[in-house]
Amino acid sequence: MRISELAGAAGVPVATVKYYLRDGLLPPGQATSATQASYDQSHLRRLRLIRSLVEVGGLPLAKVRQVLAAVDDPDPDPYEAVGAALAALPPYVRTEPPFTRASAALDAIGLAYEPDAVAVAQLDAALAGLEAAGRPLDVDALRRYADDVVGLARREVASIRHSRTRQPQQVADVVQDVVLGTVLLEPIILALRRLTHAALFREREERGGDGQKPAANR
């Protein structure tokens, strides 16, 4: 396909595609003349990934490059490869240990983790923010949140393609699946949570705040 067709299929302006080509985020197409090139499905897939990272994930281009590097040259171990890509996703917090709040909380609820994982730093910053606001989260509350997340996470991991051969392209596919699933689905989870909060508050108010319908409606 020509560059205009590639841009149309991905839903981005031609000028943006040209910028990604100049910047090396998108690999060059197959030259068909001195001024034209042809692009295939691999370019479309790459462009859609970049668009998701930039427009939905809100990643700066430096972080986009970090994700693309993990896709282009993945660690042979899918766990390490996925970790390298997820480390580029927001929120961006201080990543120098120790993360005493997060480590203590994770140890208390019995969740396995890598001490230097970026998600541990993100949890530590979130717990610190709660404390600063005078709303600390105790271990029992954190455990309840973790229990709710486990079922969701299990279904997501089960849906990701898995291969025991660990060929570079297969690992790259896993990395891309995980990154896209995280970037594209987390906004949906957040929106559903907020909508559910609103629905439950409305329901509670309609029932008089104590689970009972107001006297006028009984």
For residue 197, the tally of other CB atoms under 10 A from its CB is 10
Domain end residue (candidates: 37, 56, 75): 56
* DSSP states along 82-116: HHHHHTTSSPP---PSP-HHHHHHHHHHT----TT
Dist CA 3 CA 37 (whole Å): 7
What are 28-50's pLDDT values in tens digits? 999 999 889 999 999 999 999 99
Are 168 and 215 members of one domain? yes
Strand partners, 38: 30
- The structure tokens 């910028």 sit at 19
The number of folded domains in the chain is 2
What is the rounded average pLDDT of the residues 10-16?
A: 96
pLDDT of the residue at 165? 64
Domain assignment present for residue 37? The answer is yes
Mean pLDDT of the chain: 91
96 found inside a domain: no
Percent of the chain with pLDDT over 70: 94
Residue 210: predicted pLDDT: 60
Cα angle, residue 73 at apex, residues 113 and 59 outer, rounded to 5° = 65
Per residue in 161-215, pLDDT (tens digit) is: 776 667 888 899 999 999 999 999 999 999 999 999 999 999 999 987 665 554 4
What residues are paired with 30 via a beta bridge? 38
Burial 49-85 (b: 16+ CB within 10 A, else e): bbbbbbeebebeeebbbbbbebbeebbeebeebbbbb
Based on the fold, state whether residues 15 and 47 are members of the same structural domain. Answer: yes
Does the residue 85 lie in any domain?
yes
The answer to the question of residue 2 being in a domain is yes
Q: Domain limits at 218? A: 61-90+160-218
Question: Count of alpha carbons within 13 Å of 213, Cβ hemisphere only?
Answer: 3
Does residue 66 contact residue 88 with C-beta atoms inside 8 Å?
A: yes
Query: Is residue 214 one of the residues assigned to a domain?
Result: yes
What's the confidence (pLDDT) of residue 59? 96
Q: What is the pTM of this model?
A: 0.85
Do the domain assignments include residue 74?
A: yes
Shared-domain flag, residues 29 and 71: no
Token pair belonging to 33: 């003349």
**Strand, helix or coil at 211?**
coil
